[in-house]
Amino acid sequence: MKYILSLFLRISAMIYKNRPYLLFYTNLCGFKPIFNKDIASNLNFGYTSDVDLLINIFRYKSKKNKKRVKDLFTQGYKCFVIYDNDKNIIGAIWFGFNEDHFKFFKAKKGFAIKPEEYIYIKLCIVKDIYRGKGYGTTMNLMLLDTLARDGVVKYVSSAVYFKNSASLSYHIKVGFQFYGINFIKKYFGIKRNSQIILK
């Protein structure tokens, strides 16, 4: 009986996978970041679409990751990067408009929000040797500060896998607000989304 139950659970896991992501947002109106001056003073930032350059920040420079980067640009995301004074790339953030997450956020806010007033942070990655040293937080704050200064985007949201303690800690630390949970469900490889949105 134990064997049958174990087999059933394994088969169920293959058929139906559920990955919960916590949804966060921040309002850029009046946003005033507090930077780690020791880190920020030695960094430069900008934008790039150079796939060969960006692949160097991944742990594995595989064809899969290269395709992943290309797909992000194909989907319309922009890439914000930070680099040191020797032009060595340290980290990158892909951000842009995401229809699904825009709908989630509108459901939360309950009032009209223009698409151009909203962006979604799709992916944030820091090179291995710089992780755990504050570079990721500084990079995110630089992006938010840049967007706030431009004055077009008012809201920024992101989805964090519930086991990613470092990212959860960052979002809480810099003032992001939790507003729901997005369940990414897979049925035989077909993705479906369902949400719990806090009012």
Question: Residues 151-189: pLDDT tens digits?
Answer: 999 999 999 998 898 899 989 888 899 998 888 776 655
Per-residue pLDDT reduced to its tens digit, 104-134: 888 877 767 899 999 999 999 999 999 989 9
Instruction: Answer yes or no: is 43 within a domain.
Output: yes
The answer to whether residue 39 sits within a structural domain is yes
Q: Which amino acid is at 135?
A: Y
Residue 2 forms part of a structural domain: no
In a domain, 37, yes or no: yes
Indicate whether 10 belongs to any domain: no
Rounded CA gap, 114 and 118, in Å? 7
The CATH number assigned to the domain holding 159 equals 3.40.630.30
DSSP letters spanning 140-157: HHHHHHHHHHHTS--EEE
Residue 81 has pLDDT above 70, yes or no: yes
What per-residue confidence (pLDDT) applies to 7?
A: 41
Look at residue 140 and tell me if it is in a domain.
yes
With respect to residue 105, please indicate whether it lies within any of the assigned structural domains.
yes
Please write the tens of the pLDDT for every residue from 20-59: 899 999 999 988 888 888 888 889 999 999 999 999 898 8
Full residue range of the structural domain in which residue 144 is found: 17-197
Query: Structural domain tally of the chain?
Result: 1
Helices vs. strands in the chain: H and E counts, helices first: 7, 8
Any domain includes 132 = yes
